[in-house]
Amino acid sequence: MGEAGVVVAASVAAAPALAAIHAAAFPPGAAWDAVAFGAQLRLPGAFAFLDARGGMILARVAGGEGEVLTLAVAPAARRLGVARGLLERALAEAVSRGAASVFLEVGAGNQAARGLYEGVGFGVVGRRARYYADGEDAVVMRWGVSVP
């Protein structure tokens, strides 16, 4: 779990801050800019969280299903639990908005992200060949609300 109190909800006004973290975390050409984040945040059911140490997550709930759209932590803030804290916060928010399951796509070779997602309970449910611009496959992962 991330440090309590560091994570805050991000509105459209935070789009530049989300984009700055994305630009630090992804290679040139793969990052989303502030206009893209603003557009995503205006979609029904969209929400985002920021961690002041340099992390962000953008997700969405529609029709009882959640989706993690993107997650990024700046290199200087990695391996501190920032992403895990953001993900747990977003999963709780998705559940509070009525999601029974949450999906995401991740690069098949992105071991850091896959380890993170498996650690919070996501499991692989599919694979999309040549999903990304560089030809890498995506794996589709699902997290479900556990029924007692």
Ligand X SMILES: CC(C)(COP(=O)(O)OP(=O)(O)OC[C@H]1O[C@@H](n2cnc3c(N)ncnc32)[C@H](O)[C@@H]1OP(=O)(O)O)[C@@H](O)C(=O)NCCC(=O)NCCS
Helix (H) or strand (E) holding 138: strand 138-144
One residue of 112, 123, 130, 134 binding ligand X per CB under 6 A: 112
Q: By CB under 6 A, is residue 142 in contact with ligand X?
A: no
Which residue in 38, 143, 138 sits closest to 88, CA to CA?
Answer: 143
Which range in 10-18, 34-42, 114-122, 128-136 contacts ligand X by CB under 6 A?
A: 114-122
Could you tell me the smallest distance in angstroms from the CB atom of residue 9 to ligand X?
A: 18
Nearest to 41 by CA among 8, 70, 5: 70
> How many angstroms separate the Cα of 92 from the Cα of each of 49, 96, 109, 119, 131?
12, 6, 27, 16, 28
Residue 84 binds ligand X (CB under 6 A): yes
The residue from 65, 105, 131, 136 that is catalytic is 105
Residues at the interface with ligand X (CB under 6 A): 25-26, 55, 70-73, 78-84, 106, 110-113, 115-116, 119
